[in-house]
Amino acid sequence: MAVKAMGWAHSFPVSGGVSAGRRWTRGHLESLAWTAEEPETVDAVVLTVSELLTNAHIHAHSDAYLVLTWDGDCLHVSVHDEDSTLPVQRDPEPGAVSGRGVGIVRMLADEWGMECQRHGKTVTACFRPVGARRRQDGDGG
């Protein structure tokens, strides 16, 4: 079985990288056929990118390397930074202005995971758009 995938990669600096990452992500998602019919999924992906880039910049104090990969089933959103410390879900106090990133990603993504590497870590979230599955299954869409 042949798998056809497409993807994009970009580095985002600590200064100003989060807003640029959101714009860059939204722009590339427009090239995928399912995104016009699933604005909620697009918004979830963009929010996830924002959270993962923010975590990389704030906690790792490093540039963040974002990779988007569409394999026909799942849009993989991967962010690599230079700190090997894995993120931990926190339970912030009401009114706290931070501490919700991991919880947000877990809630939005269909799957997510983390991997330590020699020079840092990568956090990946997977989004499976409903419309893309219908088109693959031949149900229209």
Regions of the chain with pLDDT less than 70? 1-3, 132-141
Query: Which residues, 6 or more positions from 60, have their beta carbon under 8 angstroms from its beta carbon?
Result: 81, 82, 83, 85, 120
pLDDT for residue 22:
97
**Distant-in-sequence, close-in-space partners of 35: CB < 8 Å, separation ≥ 6:** 29, 41, 42, 129
In angstroms, rounded to a whole number, what is the distance separating the alpha carbons of residues 21 and 138?
Answer: 34
Give residues with Cβ within 8 angstroms of 25, minimum separation 6: 45, 46, 49, 66, 68, 77
Interval 13-51: pLDDT, tens? 998 889 999 999 999 999 999 999 999 999 999 999 999
Angle between helices 39-60 and 101-108 (to 10 degrees): 150
Is 121 in contact with 115 (CB distance < 8 Å)? Answer: yes
Q: Output the pLDDT for position 132.
A: 64
| Sheet with strand 6-12: strands edge to edge | 6-12, 64-70, 75-81, 120-127, 111-117
